[in-house]
Amino acid sequence: MKQIEHLLRAVHAGEMSVEAALAKWSATHETDLGFAKADVGRARRCGQREVIYAAGKTPEQVSALFTALGAQSTPVMATRASETHFAAVQQAFPTAEFDPVARIITLGTTPAKPEGLVAVVAAGTSDLPVAKEAAVTARFMGARVEEYVDVGVAGLHRLVNRIDAIRAARVVIAVAGMEGALPSVLGGLLDRPLIAVPTSVGYGMNLNGLTALLAMLNSCAPGITVVNVDNGFGAGVAAALINHLPPSETLATFKRRS
């Protein structure tokens, strides 16, 4: 309430326009639900809306967050959601959709930008939940996305047969478990920003994805950015933000990071 009072007084004193006050308020505004504070100003600050992490939340809490965020503007998305979460959300929002592989609930859509493309490359079918999470997230943020599944190094010809199509993307997400070799291979074949996602898929000393994570962090291929284990969401957000940059800015950013 103090912030509202400050803004109103600034407008009244002629120190700030009505439009500037509204913009400042919408960028910092939050809705207090008691169990959570919905950050409805995140889109203006960060370029993407608040996303609900459903794991650990009750169906009623997830539905309430959809109501709070959807009241401001759609689309709204929840990650790591279950069928039970979806049932509660769908009761309040019949048009909501659920991707059971990605474990994502979405309400509304973001129009895809015609320029740019994100390629999501999954080493194996077992990596698909994380790869789908990345793909659905990038699409939610307005990116065009193409998916390439089961093209890992165990059958390298499958990747080679698709490499020309992958090169058409502005940014590539590589998802792999086991020994996590796929990003290193792609890093030696592409001149694109490459985001590596280790998954917890693997036997024994895979250590729930730690082996793949360390392999990707230690890759000798330059220009690879690595997110945390199973973090398809984080990779999807990063890829969409890069994809939305003008081509000249994308290349400059990539060169600085390399």
| 248 three-state secondary structure | helix
225: Cβ contacts below 8 Å, ≥ 6 apart: 193, 194, 195, 196, 238, 257
Tens digits of per-residue pLDDT, 45-57?
666 778 999 999 9
Average pLDDT score over the chain: 87
The top-level CATH class assigned to 118-257 is: alpha beta
Query: How many Å separate Cα 82 from the centre of its chain?
Result: 18
Closest to 53 (Cα-Cα) out of 104, 87, 107, 110? 104
Please compute Rg for the chain using Cα positions.
Answer: 20
Which of residues 8 and 147 earns the better pLDDT score? 147
Q: Other C-beta atoms within 10 Å of 125: how many? A: 12
pLDDT band of residue 1 (cuts 50, 70, 90) is: very low
How far is CA 37 from its chain centroid?
A: 21
How many angstroms separate the CA atoms of 79 and 198, rounded?
Answer: 18
Summarize the chain as % helix, strand, coil (round to 5). Answer: 50, 15, 35
pLDDT, tens digit (0-9, with 9 covering 90-100), for 214-247: 999 999 999 899 999 999 999 999 999 999 887 6
Q: What is the mean pLDDT of residues 175-193?
A: 94
What's the confidence (pLDDT) of residue 99?
97
Per-residue pLDDT tens for 108-148? 878 777 788 999 999 999 999 999 999 999 999 999 999 99
Q: Chain centroid to CA 58: how far?
A: 22
CA-CA distance, 191 to 210, in Å (whole number)? 27
Which of 238, 248, 210, 218 is closest to 120 using CA atoms?
A: 238
pLDDT digit string, tens, across residues 86-95? 999 999 999 9
> What are the residue boundaries of the structural domains of the chain, listed by start?
2-107, 118-257
Can you give the pTM of this predicted structure? 0.82
